[in-house]
Amino acid sequence: MHTIGLTGGIASGKSTVAEFFREQGVPVIDADILGHRTYDPGTSTFADVVDAFGSDIVAADGSIDRRALGGKVFGKPEELTRLTDIVWPGIRALASQELSDLEVAGTKIALLEAAVLLEAGWQDMVDEVWVTTVEVDIAVARLAERNGLDETAARARIDSQLSNEERIAIASVVIENNGTREELADRIKAVWQALRTNSGTERQTIG
Ligand code: ADP
């Protein structure tokens, strides 16, 4: 199996790229969704998070109140690290299990979409890293449109992440997304075509 790790800054186009691959039948593992699963009551990560941050982050229905938890770590790097030290290994274990299940099922190409792929050190789970990039000013505009974030909040989010340059240094494929949706779609089709050719799966059913 050939596994691609897809990463990139906020609003750089990761989900758009991942959606294209899903439509082609490529299994996509979304690290965000696995992150939600690490908060499921009954899991060891749930217990560890409650131990670390207190039972006041548990909502009345027994689930983790993500807003309350966010309030405890927002703007506090040490607390955020305490949380990611629990959650990232949990996500890694879930992703690793899903990847091995896909491999056993005979999957040829799989994609792991993870905003924090590099920060969390998950490169070793994938064969190559693809990065979507967008200029900061364009990301700010897309965040305003998609999330209603004001400019200061958007820039703070972007500044807290790795830069495009830091990601590009590690990537084997860079999908630049400063242009129109159509330009992005053309780039995605080109990398998809190259991938099928190089991985020898051109005439096989993917997934
Ligand atoms: P990410 O998953 O990296 O946060 P998305 O794929 O969700 O990024 O894209 C961020 C937002 O910008 C979405 O609302 C998406 O529809 C929009 N978007 C993505 N690419 C373009 C583009 N080339 N032109 C205009 N809007 C775009």
For the chain, the structural domain boundaries read 1-27+108-207, 31-106
Q: How far is CA 26 from CA 107, 112, 113, 146, 201, in A?
A: 9, 10, 12, 26, 12
Average pLDDT, the chain: 93
Tell me which CATH homologous superfamily contains domain 31-106: P-loop containing nucleotide triphosphate hydrolases (3.40.50.300)
List the residue whose alpha carbon is closest to atom 20 of ligand 1. 13
- Which residues form ligand 1's pocket by a CB distance below 6 Å? 8, 10-16, 132, 142, 146, 177, 179-181, 184
pLDDT above 50 (res 18): yes
Q: Which residue, by CA, sits nearest to atom 5 of ligand 1? A: 13
Tell me the pLDDT tens digit for each residue of 45-100: 999 999 999 999 999 989 899 999 999 998 899 999 999 999 999 999 999 999 99
Q: Which two tokens stand for residue 24?
A: 């082609």
pLDDT per residue as tens digits for the range 71-80: 999 889 999 9
**Can you give the pLDDT at residue 200?**
60
Ligand 1 centroid to 15 CA: how many Å? 7
DSSP 115: T
First to last CA, the chain: 10
Q: How confident is the model at residue 180 (pLDDT cuts 50, 70, 90)?
A: very high
CA angle 195, 169, 80 (to 5 degrees): 105
Which ligand 1 atom is the nearest neighbour of the CA of 113?
2
CATH domain 1-27+108-207 topology: Rossmann fold (3.40.50)
Residue closest to 59 by CA, chosen among 46, 43, 44:
46
Cα dihedral 102/31/90/79 (nearest 10)? 170
The region, left, alpha or beta by phi > 0 then psi within -120 to 50, assigned to residue 100 is alpha
Span of 13-17, 19-23, 60-64, 123-127 with lowest mean pLDDT = 60-64
- Candidates 10, 142, 157, 162: which one to mutate for ligand 1, based on the most atoms within 8 Å of Cβ? 142
- Its pTM stands at 0.93
